Chain A
Amino acid sequence: MAAFEYRQAQEVRDTFQRHGCRFLFIGKSGAILLGFPDTTQDAVVFVERSPVNGRALVAALRELGFDLTGEQAGEIERGKDFVQLKNGPFDLDLVFAPDGIERFEDAWRRRVEVEGFPVCHIDDFIASKVATNRKKDQESLPRLRSFREYWLRSQGGQ
């Protein structure tokens, strides 16, 4: 499996949007879309948990080439908190209940659009990493907080 590419991010964006799936890029992959210079292996999307969105998500994933059994599709449609997909053209993590973010709607309201990519606000990345509190999150937080300052200034202090 090769690394996640810009073209594949575009495919996720376009296919999810065509199916009407509400989602946000989150995690370090989202921060990278905002301009955070770092490395990651994981493409992660925060997906709204609802029956309609779950069905749209499964349809979009199948169109992208993910090989989902009926049982797996059901688990995604029901919105299990965390789903790890390695059965498609690229690896993708689906998160329905990220640590540190109470409701999808709140994150959606704060979202940032980067070239049409819906991305969580930098404060949501940080809140999520603080709440998760893994070793790898602790290591990246100081730099992420500095990037937040830089990014807010570049956005005119929004």
Chain B
Amino acid sequence: MATPVDPAIPPEWLEEFEAAARRPLAARMRYAFIRTYKPVLDDAPFRAFDRMEDYRRWCEENLPDWLGYGRV
């Protein structure tokens, strides 16, 4: 589980991280979770996929590109 290390944190991001750390968790979540309609994805009450690969492929074949669920 080697994660590349980049010790340089851009100052504007550092400012945001520090501001978030000062907020209570409830406030952080209030700011973080948003809701907008996602075409296709939001149109069924239940979906289950045997394998993650099936889900990834389904996203690529069925969701609009702009939602960003397609693999690079």
Contact = CB atoms under 8 A, between A and B. Distances in A.
Interface of A: 1-6, 9, 29, 32-33, 35-41, 43, 67-68, 72, 75-76, 80-87, 95, 97-99, 114-115, 123-124, 126-127, 132-136, 138-139, 142-143, 145-151, 154
B34 A37 contact: no
Given A32-B29, A37-B20, A132-B71, A99 B52 contact: yes
Contacts of A148: 3
A121 to B, nearest CB: 8
Contacts, number: 147
Interface string B58-69: 010000000111
A76 B48 contact: yes
Nearest to A146: B9
A-B residue pairs, 5 tightest by C-beta:
A136-B68, A37-B20, A87-B45, A3-B35, A6-B26
Contacts of A98: 52
B32 A38 contact: yes
Given A36-B20, A43-B33, A136 B69 contact: yes
Interface string B39-72: 0011011111111101110010000000111111
- Chain B's interface size range is 35 or more
Contact of A127 (B1, B13, B28, B32): B1
A32 B28 contact: yes
B58 to A, nearest CB: 9
A145 B4 contact: yes
A33 B28 CA distance: 8
Given A145-B6, A149-B5, A32 B49 contact: no
B50 A114 contact: no
